[in-house]
Structures are given as C-alpha cells and as structure tokens.
C-alpha cells in the first residue's frame, strides 16, 4: 500500500486499519506512471483497503475500456495491495471485462474482494441509488456532537424523494398533493 497521499491509494476511514503493505519505490513509480496514462485517457482507478478486503474504484471511462487499461489497473493495484495480489487483479479483470464494462457503463463501478479471495472482484455499480425510503436522525448541535446516524423507518416510503425546507422559523414538508403541512 502506498503511504503517500496520491491517487494510487485513498486512506480508509477506519482508523484501526493501517494497511499492512508498503509499496516499493519501483511499485510506486509504476503506479504513478499508470495514473498519468489513465488521466490522459480520461480514466481513473483508485484502490481502497479495508480491514476485510479491498475495493478498486473505476470511473466510467476505465470501466468501458478495462481491457485497454488492464496494465495500469494492475500497476495501481500492485502499489496498493502487493505484487502477487496485483497480478491476480489483472487476470480477474480480464476475465470479467465484459461484465465490468456493462455494470460501470455510465457511472463507473467498484470491484470488491475480501483478502481471503483477492480474485473475486465483484463489480458493483457506482450509480446513485434511487431511494424513496424515509429516514430519521437526531441532532445535538449545541453539544457539538453533530447528527446521529440515519435510521430508516420500517415499511414507510414515498412515491417521490422526501424533502424538508426550513425558511426562517417555519418547517415545510412538500407533499404529493401540493399542500404544505
């Protein structure tokens, strides 16, 4: 895993995970060159390590041209994950190239694998989710604690995306009928 803050590796938000792998100077150099080549093509590849495994994020251009940019994907993975895993990533991407291109068509995709099965690379779309669920949260801005985690209301939804407006002291909730309550 590259320890510098380049596009090669994004630090995981989990402070307990230190990554475990430090890329050699040659791996970092190859990865930096790969990032430049990808940028010239409009493609972007980013590796994120987690305690349970890793994700390789491909933008739409990288997803569509996965076979063309396979070496750059492999070199980026080598620097973040280690040479042996990077080699598996290349082979798995070639095998799944058509699937990656379809799933990542408009928004890109992420390839997800646990450490125990690094060649699994399950492609998941990065397209925004159309979620009409209703959620609640609690805020304590005075105490400096911010907001709690969103909690979904069970078996409640909306035909359109829910919204709430607070102009001045009034709280307005738009409804499908156009009436405000």
Write the DSSP string, 18-55.
--S----HHHHHHHHHHHHHHHHHT--EEEEE-SSEEE
Residue with more model confidence, 129 or 34? 34
The whole-number pLDDT of residue 101 equals: 93
Structurally, how many domains does the chain consist of? Answer: 2
If asked whether residues 154 and 68 sit together in one domain, one would say no
Q: How confident is the model at residue 103 (pLDDT cuts 50, 70, 90)?
A: very high
The mean pLDDT of 34-47, rounded to a whole number, is 92
110-137: average pLDDT: 86
Indicate whether 114 and 164 sit together in one domain: no
How high is the pLDDT of residue 178?
43
pLDDT, position 173: 67
Q: Do 95 and 45 have their domain in common? A: yes
Q: Same domain for 38 and 57?
A: yes
Identify whether residues 108 and 121 lie together within a single domain: yes
Which residues are CB-contacts of 165 (< 8 A; sequence separation ≥ 6)?
A: 171, 172, 173, 174
Does a structural domain hold residue 2? no
Q: Is the per-residue pLDDT at 8 higher than 80?
A: no
Query: Would 30 be classed as within a structural domain?
Result: yes
Residue 52 maps to a domain: yes
Residue ranges making up the domain that contains 153:
130-181
36 and 96 fall within a common domain: yes
Q: Are 69 and 38 in contact (CB under 8 A)?
A: yes
d(Cα 118, Cα 82) in Å, to the nearest integer?
11
pLDDT at 171 over 90: no
Q: Are 89 and 56 in contact (CB under 8 A)?
A: yes
- Rounded to two decimals, the pTM is 0.64
Highest mean pLDDT among 20-24, 28-32, 127-131, 165-169: 28-32
The pLDDT value given to residue 161:
64
Does 4 fall in a domain? Answer: no
Domain membership flag for residue 71 = yes
One domain, residues 96 and 153: no
Per-range mean pLDDT, top range of 6-10, 17-21, 151-155: 151-155
């Amino acid at each position: 895993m590259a320890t510098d803050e380049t596009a090669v590796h994004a630090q995981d938000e989990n402070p307990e995970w230190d990554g475990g792998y430090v890329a050699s100077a040659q791996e970092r150099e190859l990865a930096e060159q790969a990032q430049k080549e990808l940028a010239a093509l409009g493609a972007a590849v980013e590796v994120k390590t987690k305690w349970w495994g890793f994700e390789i994020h491909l933008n739409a251009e990288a997803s569509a041209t996965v076979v063309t940019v396979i070496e750059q994907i492999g070199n980026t993975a080598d620097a973040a994950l280690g040479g042996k895993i990077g080699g598996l990533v290349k082979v798995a991407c070639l095998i799944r190239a058509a699937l990656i291109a379809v799933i990542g068509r408009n928004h890109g995709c992420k390839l997800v694998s646990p450490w125990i099965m690094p060649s699994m690379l399950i492609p998941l779309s990065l397209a925004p989710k159309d979620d009409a669920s209703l959620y609640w949260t609690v805020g304590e801005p005075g105490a400096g604690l911010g907001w709690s985690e969103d909690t979904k209301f069970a078996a409640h939804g909306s035909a359109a995306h829910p919204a709430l407006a607070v102009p001045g002291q009034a709280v307005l909730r738009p409804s499908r009928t156009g009436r405000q309550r």
